[in-house]
């Protein structure tokens, strides 16, 4: 059995150790923020944060994550208490179909948590592994810049650190 | 340009009169190219490969000058080099040149055909392949006695070529020409690091010239590589494909590295889809066979980023943020034992630290 700390809670995972993290999050823990896109780590829709770094959950078996901390979209804010990244995406109306957006937010969140002053260039470079077929790229960039402004004074926000 | 001696900054070679080479005559340009002396008479560091460009013909040297003078001038000065004393004194380069620089134009070998000679001219001169693919001595000069025995460039291993090659698959001319022009080959994998840029450049070179280079390089011999490798897998590890794009993972071995391979790597690398859409066959991987772990570690940690352009190119997610140092070592040990029949590399932990630091 694998133990993970998911959004701050210690969880014992029933699924077999070779199960990709994405399936565990969605099917076992009911956290549907991360999406199945390609299953090959090539589209970014499944991105979550592990120990502060953005990773593709579809190609990450839980076996290699024993005892590590996982943050999903549900961990950076809820419908009742939106996080800065989520607020910014809503304000900028950056989602069209929205399928890729969770992954985009998670990677942007990981980037801004370690570099709240990330330049436009580094935001673009960081999000390069994420595909969006609706084409809201310019709004996504605006949303991330907006979130950065909000996150800057309180980068020590406990949510990003756990 | 990071070198074992310090950082050297390449200078402005646009025709800007103040900061570039706009005031350079053709003779000054050709002298710099072949003798490593700038317009003011200062010695240039051999990071600029004049030890190779000395082979370049008059016609090509003049053509290069004409081309450089035709591009738009840009005003920009390189920062000063970061080299320790006494290397920061350019006069020391006079001694280096005395020892190591053999100034001579290329001379064709009349016993070989035109294509071979063309290939050798390009490989030794403008291509300067040996600058990375040959080992260097303590003074940073190529070891002529060990030409193409493998070298290092910008944190990547430049594999041995010819007889010293560790490639499990013998390179033939068609495969090498294809690899040089496209940056990947289904049986040989993907060019990464500085070689990715080389392949990008070669994609714009006359295909006949790329073939000539491949022709010459293949004539140098083939090491231990096999000729009879099938394009698709039919050996151990063949897996049925599951529905959708992901293949089923095999049963998990008890050995930690094998378990990581089975759960993390096998769904692409054992899925029977050839490059560029599947993973390369690791039993055919030079990175796994090589004497140093540099490239394997770089690939595991960073992956292969998507390249721009319309044609399909291999891509791989990096696992540096998923796997910890111990897991990467276990995995490499497994790959090394299973596919190369050899033991884990010495100095593996150092290679991982370097790959993580270099991101």
- Nearest-CA distance from A80 to chain B in Å? 31
Pick among 3.40.50.150, 1.10.150.120, 3.40.50.970, 2.60.200.20: CATH of A77-155: 1.10.150.120
Q: Which residues of A touch B258 (CB under 8 A)?
A: none
Q: At what angle do helices B26-35 and B58-70 cross, to 10 degrees?
A: 120
pLDDT at A157 exceeding the cut of 80: no
Query: For residue range B298-321, what is the model confidence (pLDDT) as tens digits?
Result: 999 999 988 877 678 889 999 999
Domain chopping of chain B, boundaries? 2-100, 114-219, 256-357
CA distances from B260 to A161, B116, B268, B336 (A): 27, 46, 13, 14
The count of CB pairs under 8 A between chains A and B is 53
Query: For residue range A103-140, what is the model confidence (pLDDT) as tens digits?
Result: 999 999 999 999 999 999 999 999 999 999 999 999 99
B-contacting residues in A 136-155 (Cβ below 8 Å)? none
Q: Does domain B256-357 have CATH number 1.10.760.10?
A: yes
Q: What is the pLDDT of residue B174?
A: 96
| Long-range pairs, B149-156, Cβ under 8 A, ≥24 | B150/B290, B150/B291, B152/B294, B153/B193, B153/B194, B154/B1, B154/B2, B154/B193, B154/B194, B155/B2, B155/B193, B155/B294, B155/B298, B155/B354, B155/B355, B155/B358, B156/B192, B156/B193, B156/B194, B156/B195, B156/B294, B156/B295, B156/B298
Q: What is the pLDDT of residue A146?
A: 97
Of A38, A64, A129, Cβ closest to residue B322: A64
Q: Which residues of B touch A56 (CB under 8 A)?
A: 317
Q: What is the pLDDT of residue B236?
A: 42
Residues with pLDDT less than 50, chain B = 234-245
CA distances from B332 to A61, B123, B184, B322 (A): 18, 33, 22, 15
CATH class of A2-75: alpha beta
Looking at per-residue pLDDT, the higher value among A149 and B252 belongs to: A149
Beta bridge partners of A9: A6
Query: For residue range B176-223, what is the model confidence (pLDDT) as tens digits?
Result: 999 999 999 989 999 999 999 999 999 999 999 999 999 999 999 988
Q: Which residues of B touch A64 (CB under 8 A)?
A: 260, 263-264, 322-323, 327
The separation between CA B278 and the C-alpha centre of its own chain, rounded to angstroms, equals 22
Domain chopping of chain A, boundaries? 2-75, 77-155
H/E stretch holding B201 reads helix B194-202
Query: For residue range B65-85, what is the model confidence (pLDDT) as tens digits?
Result: 999 999 999 999 999 999 999
| Long-range pairs, B340-343, Cβ under 8 A, ≥24 | B340/B288, B340/B289
Q: Residue A48: which pLDDT band, with cuts at 50, 70 and 90?
A: very high
Beta bridge partners of B226: B169
Looking at per-residue pLDDT, the higher value among A162 and A109 belongs to: A109
ipTM of the complex: 0.89
For B322, other C-beta atoms within 10 Å of its C-beta total 27
Retrieve residue B156's tokens.
Answer: 């990547």
Retrieve residue B131's tokens.
Answer: 């600058």
Preceding amide of B262 cis, omega within 30: no
């Amino acid at each position: 059995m694998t133990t993970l700390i998911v959004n701050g809670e210690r969880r014992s995972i029933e699924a077999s150790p070779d199960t990709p993290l994405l399936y565990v999050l969605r099917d076992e823990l009911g956290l549907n923020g991360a999406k199945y896109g390609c299953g090959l780590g090539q589209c970014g829709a499944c991105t979550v944060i592990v120990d502060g770094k953005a990773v593709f959950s579809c190609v990450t078996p839980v076996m290699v994550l024993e005892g590590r901390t996982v943050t999903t979209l549900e961990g950076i804010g809820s419908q009742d208490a939106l996080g800065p990244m989520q607020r910014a995406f809503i304000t900028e109306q950056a989602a069209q179909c929205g399928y890729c957006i969770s992954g985009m937010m998670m990677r942007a969140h990981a980037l801004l948590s370690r570099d709240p002053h990330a330049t436009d260039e580094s935001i673009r470079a960081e999000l390069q592994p994420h595909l969006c077929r609706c084409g809201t790229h310019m709004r996504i960039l605006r949303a991330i810049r907006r979130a950065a402004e909000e996150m800057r004074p309180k980068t020590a926000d406990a949510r990003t650190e756990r | 340009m990071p070198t074992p001696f310090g950082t050297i900054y390449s200078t402005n070679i646009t025709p800007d009169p103040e900061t570039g080479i706009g005031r350079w005559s053709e003779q000054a340009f050709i002298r710099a190219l072949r003798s490593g002396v700038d317009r003011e008479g200062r010695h240039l560091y051999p990071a600029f490969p004049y030890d190779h460009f000395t082979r370049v013909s008059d016609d090509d040297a003049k053509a290069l000058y004409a081309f450089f003078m035709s591009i738009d001038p840009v005003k920009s000065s390189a920062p000063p080099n970061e080299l320790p004393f006494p290397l920061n004194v350019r006069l020391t380069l006079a001694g280096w040149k005395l020892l190591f620089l053999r100034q001579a134009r290329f001379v064709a070998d009349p016993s070989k055909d035109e294509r071979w000679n063309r290939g050798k001219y390009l490989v030794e001169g403008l291509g300067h392949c040996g600058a990375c693919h040959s080992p260097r001595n303590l003074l940073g000069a190529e070891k002529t006695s060990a030409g193409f025995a493998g070298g290092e460039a910008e944190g990547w291993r430049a594999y041995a070529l010819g007889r010293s090659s560790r490639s499990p698959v013998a390179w033939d001319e068609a495969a090498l020409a294809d690899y040089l022009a496209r940056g990947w080959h289904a049986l040989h994998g993907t060019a990464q690091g500085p070689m990715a840029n080389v392949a990008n450049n070669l994609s714009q070179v006359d295909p006949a010239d790329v073939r000539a280079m491949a022709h010459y390089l293949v004539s140098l011999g083939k090491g231990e590589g096999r000729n009879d490798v099938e394009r698709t897998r039919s050996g151990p590890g063949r897996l049925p494909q599951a529905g959708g794009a992901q293949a089923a993972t095999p049963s998990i071995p008890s050995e930690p590295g094998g378990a990581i391979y089975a759960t993390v790597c096998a769904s692409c690398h054992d899925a029977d889809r050839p490059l560029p859409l599947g993973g390369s066959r690791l039993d055919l991987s030079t990175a796994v066979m090589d004497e140093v772990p540099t490239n394997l570690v770089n690939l595991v940690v960073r992956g292969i980023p998507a390249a721009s352009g319309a044609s399909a190119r291999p891509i791989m997610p990096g696992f540096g943020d998923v796997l910890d140092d111990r897991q990467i070592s276990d995995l490499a040990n497994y790959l090394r034992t299973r596919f190369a029949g050899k033991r884990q590399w010495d100095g593996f932990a150092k290679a991982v630290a370097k790959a993580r630091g270099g991101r």
